[in-house]
Amino acid sequence: MIEVRIHGRGGQGNVVAAYLLATAAFETGQHCQAFPSFGAERRGAPVTAYVRIAAQPIRRRCQVANPAFLLVQDAGLLHIPSTLEGLKPGGGILVNSPHSSTELTEEYGRPMVAVPATALAQDILGRPVPNVALLSAFLALTGMMPASALVKALAHRFKGDVLERNTRLIEAATTQVIAGAWQEVAHA
């Protein structure tokens, strides 16, 4: 079972990101579970969401304490110690940031991969919502499933121009990371 934790701020589509990732896994025939852990429900407040993906039905309903991967939609949350807490040894941290992976890794003293997800979304969607670009980069890094699974998941929510733009965003974000760099972590 792969466990993922998503950190972001209310309004960044954190829960939607969790639902999309789980739905994409479902589209590839896997079992999945995604759920949020809200704080006070308001824009800007830190939000955590969890995703589990497994070959078998998932019965545990506790929070993800020891994720293999962290998706951080707002780099400012890296300053909160609980954001990085519990990450499995060797686990991957993917951050939405205009800075480079090297800069982030140096600043926080641990390996991180950066993707300028907000900028990509602003360019292609015209809206600064980082979730889809971040998910696309995540799928490319892990090789967990093809980008087409994410497109299928999006097709449950969007159609026409919005879906087409999101598909382009997925393609653009894929090229931002080294494909398969986290493959071993995903299969550990």
Partner 1 sequence: MLEALEGSAAIARAVARCRPGVVAAYPITPQTHIVENISKLVADGKLQTELVSVESEFSAASVALGASAAGSRAYTASSSQGILLMTEVLFNISGMRLPVVLTCANRAIGAPINIWNDHSDSMAVRDCGWIQLHCADNQEAIDTSIQAFRIAEATELPVMVCMDGFILTHTLEPLEIPDQDVVDRYLPPFRFDRMLDPKNPLSLGTLVGPEYFSETRHLAHQALMAATSTIVDTDREWQTLTGRSAGGLLTVEGPENAKIGVLAMGSVVSTFREALDTLKTRKKAKLINLRAFRPLPDQALREACAGLSDLVVVDRALSPGFGGILGGEIKAALSGMAKMPRIHNVAIGLGGRDVPLEMWPRLLDVPTEDGGFRILDLEPAKLGEVP
Residue 33 or 101 having the CB closest to partner 1:
33
Least separation, in Å, of the C-beta of 113 and partner 1?
A: 26
Site residues, partner 1 (CB under 8 A): 15, 18-19, 22-23, 26-27, 31-38, 41, 57-63, 65, 153, 156
Least separation, in Å, of the C-beta of 132 and partner 1?
A: 16
Least separation, in Å, of the C-beta of 163 and partner 1?
A: 17
Residue 47 or 170 having the CB closest to partner 1:
47
Under 8 Å between Cβ of 25 and 142: no
32: which residues sit within 8 A by CB, 6+ positions away? 21, 22, 23, 25, 26, 51, 52, 53, 54, 58
Residue 37 or 174 having the CB closest to partner 1:
37
Residues 148, 136: Cα–Cα separation, whole Å:
10
Least separation, in Å, of the C-beta of 103 and partner 1?
A: 34
